[in-house]
Structure 1
Amino acid sequence: MSLFLPIALWSGDVPPPQAPYTQTNPFFSNTESSTIIELTPPQSSQSPQPAGDKNLIVFIGGLMDSHHRVLFREFASFRQGSYPRLAHIPFVGKIYTTFDHRALFASWLPHLIASGYHLYIFAHSWGAGNICKLLSRLTLAPASIPLLVTMDPVGYWRLAHKPQSIGVWVNIYVADKWRHITVPNICTYIGRAWNHCRAADTEIVLKNYHSHTKSDKNRKIIAHASIRTMMETFNTSKEVLF
């Protein structure tokens, strides 16, 4: 039965969920689980944490992320100040879940928000589509999720209007996926990539500008699973006002 439950991992000041979940997976080795960096309180006195201000960063993987671990690695390596764009925000904890999280978050998100937590969510692929669908159905406090970053979301359903619970929604997508036949890109054809989302506050469009010649064969293609490129662009893009 545990194989059919979403995986949920966290570190720091995070109240555990009440819904069923598993913290084990055959694809995760003990070595990988032990590499999760614990969050420590920010050392700088320049950004004091207001009383009662509790911020969590949440990573939601796409289909098969428990195997490929492209977003899990972001969760595992994230520490205070990892992302320059969010360096001024003191995080008290971090959460990782797999794409099949809707039942888990349906009870966990309202509990976290009612307990005074503010959630900064980074979601990829099918996980991004699923969290958007859930947020459209939940009644949460306005701007209780200060930031939602969707990275190349897919799904047969898409968010038409931004829910009031989302403060800023940044959507990042690869515009020329159809030009590059890779396994992750093929998955977006089957799963229906959202690409442009008119309800997002800001969109970052990634493209492969280099030519497809033999001399360029070693250049890395930006594809659906290029999470590191998406995160670097989020942190440096002038389009993101946050």
Structure 2
Amino acid sequence: MVRVLVVDDEPQLLRAMRINLAARHYEVVLAADGAGALDAASRHLPDVVVLDLGLPDMDGTDVIAGLRGWTKVPILVLSGRADSADKVDALDAGADDYVTKPFSMDELLARLRALIRRSESEAADEPAVTIGHYTVDLAAKTVQRRPGAPADTPEQVHLTKTEWAVLEVLVRNPGRLVSGRQLLQQVWGPAYQSETNYLRFYLARLRQKLEPEPSHPKQLLTESGMGYRFQP
């Protein structure tokens, strides 16, 4: 089932979207502000995001930027802003499409289907990466023992949604330093930028699951006082 995250501060619109999408067999996740959207995206890993720009706590373009730091999920902006400059800003920030309110539900659904088809096509070509004795497939969300790995290596490893979110940010920035603040914002949202204990916990979990020697990691690295790095 395709999971859709709908972000809007209008309760009536959220209700209408939930009813219409659920009736067409979409799984629907709702958020009423930017922080809630970033948190919901990291926890639920939606297949597509429908996003209003005029949110109470931050501009929608900031939400787009936060998502784009770690995910390629299709983003459809649904906004009352009809000015071309607003559309350009949203698309430049990383949105994939833009629909102006008031809107036709049939048109919105057609745009969603087109984005999902394109995303599925792109995901099929997304390369996997090797970490330790495993092949990590970001598109399929699987961790499988790679050929030639020691016989006692488990056949597959299960990662939680949050572990996937943290790992994706690092893997999509191979060899690059990702600051702790950036990682926290992209995975948990702006309200969590000081929760460095989250990062220590989840990096330790990922190393335990993926690194052959978790206490001496070779690929999921900590740069003391600066951030984290995935070393291919």
TM range (shorter): 0.3 to 0.5
Q: TM-score, normalised by structure 1?
A: 0.35
Tell which structure's C-alpha radius of gyration is larger: 2
Structure with the largest fraction of helix: 2
